[in-house]
Each structure stands twice: as structure tokens, then as C-alpha cells.
Amino acid sequence: MLTTTIAWDNTISWSWEDAINALQDTLSKVSASIVRFPKQAPPTLILSSHDIPSKIDWDIAVNRALEMIKKNNSLLTKVVLARSTRVVPTTNIDPLTWLACLTVESENAYQFLLQPPDAPAFIGNTPEQLFHRKWLHITSEALAGTRARGVSMALDRQIELDLLTSPKDDIEFTIVRDTIRRKLEGVCEKVVIKPKKMIRKLPRIQHLFAQLAGRLRSEEDEFEVLSSLHPSPAVCGFPTEEAQLLIAKTGPENPCKLAC
């Protein structure tokens, strides 16, 4: 189901009819793209690729973060540092084509594309759902800890057990799950966690996963939920303020700032 909001203003020569016609044109393009683009996408080669920050600078930032976490008086227990990769292809890639290609990863994941007029496109594919609401019932997901999938069923099972029993990943996952629980308890009558900890398998990786559900005290609490859950410890760190401060010190190019 796709729900759209239409805005029009006759005073600027953008009538209701113009808005409807523009929307219909866009929807027809999206529908055609999702069906046919994966088969029609032209072959594309990579001319160049480089990471920002470099591996050396990223290692320095990681070691600095570990030193801060280990300090006796430090409140910081988790921080997410990342790198972005800039790729130059041989041909321009249509954003809708790219989005359509992501449908092969669509199981247990969400694809999105945002592109303001005359601006770059922001495309993503994520297994994380911040929250889902139906009337007063709300659910959220805790996702943390990552392992690759195994090339065989036996190896995949071994990797799964390693993730489930890893103390380091359990700490990381518990921080994310308990933070979301506390946030929901602030606006919900009761919060239920079920399952408390299991594996969610994706085509190429697997994560620790838990689902949280509650009942909002009032309909107006939805925006409070949104502002309190984002950024979650899974994409920023914990506590949020301390993690954001450290991310800010790693350099203006750190891609984590987009999430925080």
C-alpha cells in the first residue's frame, strides 16, 4: 500500500488538477520501474572508489572510542562509527532502477527512496523498523550484533550459535533493547518484549533481534515516540548525548552524523 499526501495552491498556479496529474505521472513511472528496471538496467562498471574517512583515520577513531569507553569515569558504553564509500560508475544510475534492484534484498527489510526536486537521491535498504502503530497499539524492534551467513546450513548454524552466545554482542544488543523499552514505557501503559532475543536472518547477514509492543496512553504520543526513539543506540550509541559528542569529534565527514 502506498499513501501519498497532495499539496496544491491555486495562488501559485499549482492547482489541484496539476497536483493530481503530476502524482499520476510519478506513480506510473514507479510502477513500471519496479516491474521492469531490474531486467533493463544497463551494465555498469566502477571507475573509481574510495572510503571516507580512510582506513587509517577510521582505525584511529575506533581506538579513541575504545579508550573513552574504558575510562572509569566515562558514561559512554557504546558508539557507532562508520565510513562512507564514494563510487564513480561508468554511467549514471537512475534512482528508481537502484531501488528496484534492492527488491532482491526485500525479505525482512524495508527499501526507501527520497529525492527532493533537483537534488541527489537518498536510497536505502534496512532491516530496522523504528516503530509501527495501528490505533493505540505500537511495536518496535531491537536489532544489533551482526554476523555473515554461512555457505552451508551447518556453518550457518554454527555462526548463529556464536552470535547468540557472544558476551560482547549480548551487551550491545541488551543496550539497544533496554533503551527502546524505557522509551516506550514513557508513553505506553505496558511494554511486552517477545521474543526477548532471537536471530533474524537476512540474505547475506544475521542479527540479534527482539520485538517490543505496547499500548499508547493517548494518540498524541506518536510524535514523542518518534523523537525519543531516534537516534537509537543501534545507529548512534549510548548514552545518546555522549555518543553524539564523540561522533562530532571524529570529523565532519563521518557518515554517522546522518543517522544522529
Cβ–Cβ under 8 Å, residues 150 and 159: yes
- The C-alpha atoms of residue 62 and residue 73 are separated, in whole angstroms, by 19
Cβ–Cβ under 8 Å, residues 163 and 208: yes
Low-confidence residues in the chain, pLDDT < 70 = 1, 30-42, 104-107, 221, 251-260
pLDDT at 260: 38
pLDDT at 17: 83
pLDDT at 150: 93
Residues ≥6 apart with Cβ < 8 Å to 37: 94, 96, 97, 100, 101
- Residue written as grid cell 536489532: 143
Beta bridge partners of 215: 137
Compute the mean pLDDT over every residue in the chain, rounded to the nearest whole number: 83
Residues ≥6 apart with Cβ < 8 Å to 85: 49, 50, 51, 52
pLDDT at 193: 95
pTM for the full model? 0.73
User: What are the start-end ranges of the H helices in the chain?
Assistant: 16-40, 55-70, 95-101, 153-165, 167-185, 222-229, 240-249, 256-259
Beta bridge partners of 214: 138, 191
Extract the C-alpha cell encoding 92: 549514471
Peptide bond between residue 195 and the one before it cis (omega within 30 degrees of 0): yes
Of how many residues is the chain composed?
260
- The C-alpha atoms of residue 50 and residue 72 are separated, in whole angstroms, by 37
pLDDT at 192: 95
Please give the single-letter amino acid code of residue 88.
V
pLDDT at 33: 47
pLDDT at 39: 46
User: What are the start-end ranges of the H helices in 5-46?
Assistant: 16-40
End-to-end CA distance of the chain: 29
Instruction: Please choose, from the candidates 250, 255, 247, 249, the residue with its C-alpha nearest in 3D space to the C-alpha of residue 86.
Output: 255
